[in-house]
Structure 1
Amino acid sequence: MLLREGQAAQFVCIGEEHGIAENPKLAAQWFNALTASGYSKACVEISPPMAAELDRAARDGVDGLRELFADPRANVAFFSMREEAEWLASARAAVRGRGQAIWGL
């Protein structure tokens, strides 16, 4: 049902409680499935400049995100849970070559 409704919509939104591993797992699977329907942007509740940094780091997968999180100057507020980093890396990989995939709102 989620996939069918997402395919019929212009955008989808997940309201979730932070720190629960299942939420980014669901988001990753749903977003990856929706890319076949034209979805190409994963919008997250961070600043646009930080989203651009996450997008850049995620081009190198989870390792790129780990490197960003290890830099004390990065000051990334969210996404340091393994499952969250895997979701960002998965979203970035799903739209590789199509510009910035992770947007901040």
Structure 2
Amino acid sequence: MSEDIRFAAQQLMEGRLTAIDDVAAKAREVGEARTALETAERSYAAAYKAAQDAGWSDRELRQLSLPAPGRRAPGRPRKKVEAGTSAGPTAMSQD
């Protein structure tokens, strides 16, 4: 009888193990995609710099829908910076 219970438990666990295998595979895919994105961004930055060195201005490249590297496409704003570390306007000394 205990073997029957063990067998039933193993069958129940099989579905859970399959699910965890799927999660692990997708996590690996996400990691690979992040690495590929980082590589593509570095390559894009080098190609953009080469275009600038060849005489293309930032304005001309933007007109061709080629954004400067390191800038993200418009979308949701970034998270707010913690107080005390703001990159916002600072008081300027008066002459």
Range into which the TM-score falls when normalised by the shorter chain: under 0.3
TM-score w.r.t. length of structure 1 = 0.20
When you count helix as a share of all residues, which structure comes out higher?
2
TM-score w.r.t. length of structure 2 = 0.21
